A and B are shown apart, each in its own frame.
Chain A
Amino acid sequence: EAAVTQSPRSKVAVTGGKVTLSCHQTNNHDYMYWYRQDTGHGLRLIHYSYVADSTEKGDIPDGYKASRPSQENFSLILELASLSQTAVYFCASSDWGSAETLYFGSGTRLTVL
């Protein structure tokens, strides 16, 4: 069974603080993704990566950085957290970018105060 693990499950951060969300996959997948989900907006792609040490911008990358230090790990970094970044964040991995092999983690609920 494909596995994507996110940490933490939830986090409260202060405005202007730095936040790091972590994702670990044991699927041996090359592709990894970060999405955010807000009520009324569905899931929106922030960053993705198809190989270690390389990241690509998704549809809404502003205010976020990503890091892919290894095939298994993919982090999302909010250098200066803002109220508007309160959302649920999902990490996913995919085998060679296949649309039917996209496996998601359980999400991280981030609240910025």
Chain B
Amino acid sequence: LAKTTQPPSMEAYEGQEVNVSCSHTNIATSEYIYWYRQVPHQGPQFIIQGYKDYVVNEVASLFISADRKLSTLSLPWVSLRDAAVYYCIVTDMNYAQGLTFGLGTRVSVFP
């Protein structure tokens, strides 16, 4: 049973805000939510992590529902450089055995 469910793809124009949702209905109290993104020909890169409520950094913002079963990654004012696959991962903070990456959400950005 998949720990997370994301839409397979999304499209946006440059300058728009993109919101990528992630469902994690069985999230445990010890688990955090992490988002990575992978641009073509590179490995995934950490974007943001959160446990509850709202987190923001210079790249994105993350909203987590009150019951922690749904999170939304928000990318403001997307550019062509934001075209990538975005992965939502739910895991304990220290997970030495390696992260499990699903198929993610492919975000396409058009000029």
Which residue of the partner chain, among B44, B91, B94, contacts A96 with CB atoms under 8 Å? Answer: B94
A98 touches B41 (CB 8 A): no
- Residues of A within 8 Å of B89, CB to CB, are 99
Residues of B in contact with A (beta carbons under 8 Å apart): 32, 34, 36, 41-46, 49, 87, 89, 91-104
Is chain B's interface secondary structure helix, strand, loop, or mixed overall? loop
How many residues of A are counted as interface, with CB atoms below 8 angstroms from the partner's CB atoms?
30
Q: C-beta contact mask, A94-112 vs B, less than 8 Å → 1, else 0?
A: 1011111111111100000
Most chain A C-beta atoms within 10 Å of own C-beta, residue among B36, B87, B96, B104: B96
**A73-113 toward B: CB 8 Å interface, digit per residue (1/0)?**
00000000000000000101010111111111111000000
Residues of A within 8 A of B45 (CB): 103-104
